[in-house]
Amino acid sequence: MEKLTLVALSLLMELFEFSWQYSLTLRGSLEKVYKVYKKSIFLFFLMHTGYLYFLFISLKFEILNFPLLLALSLKSMDIFAKIEMIKKLYFKTNEQDVLLEKFLDEKIPLFFYIFPILTYPYLLYWSLNW
């Protein structure tokens, strides 16, 4: 496949992730993520199409360089942070995190949703041209 096609597919994957996770507040975003999580943990991981796509690219083209590792690391941290916040919010009722509760109803700047859309395709392009 042509490199730009791979990057364009990455952009589409990030737009999909943006579309199902977007909310004005952290609480709204976590509620959307939790709805998927409580259906199935496997569905939760499948909905992170960008992460799976980067794993596929790494395995298919035998690429394991800095940009790809950086993208996979950031995506892994993002997924595990969501899981931890879901655990604290929905499963551990006797151990409410005061700091998390403080930020749940704060508005999330649109930049936090646009940043991955701009960053991950660039990292893939950089990785393919390494």
What pLDDT is recorded for position 93? 65
Give me the torsion for CA of 12, 14, 15, 19, rounded to 10°. 140
**Domains in the chain, number:** 1
Least confident of 10-19, 81-90, 97-106: 97-106
Q: Is the pLDDT of residue 16 over 70?
A: yes
Q: Is the pLDDT of residue 18 over 80?
A: yes
Least confident of 6-15, 49-58, 85-94, 103-112: 85-94
Give the domain range for residue 119.
Answer: 3-128
What pLDDT is recorded for position 83? 94
What pLDDT is recorded for position 91? 84
Main-chain phi, psi angles of 107, to 5 degrees? -75, 140
For residue range 95-129, what is the model confidence (pLDDT) as tens digits? 666 777 788 888 999 999 999 999 999 999 999 99
Q: Which pTM was predicted?
A: 0.88
Measured distance CA(8)–CA(1) in Å, rounded: 11
Burial 47-75 (b: 16+ CB within 10 A, else e): bbbbbebbeebbeeeebeeebbeebbebb
What pLDDT is recorded for position 88? 85
For residue range 30-82, what is the model confidence (pLDDT) as tens digits? 999 999 999 999 999 999 999 999 999 999 999 999 999 999 999 999 999 99
3-class SS of residue 25 = strand
Measured distance CA(63)–CA(65) in Å, rounded: 6
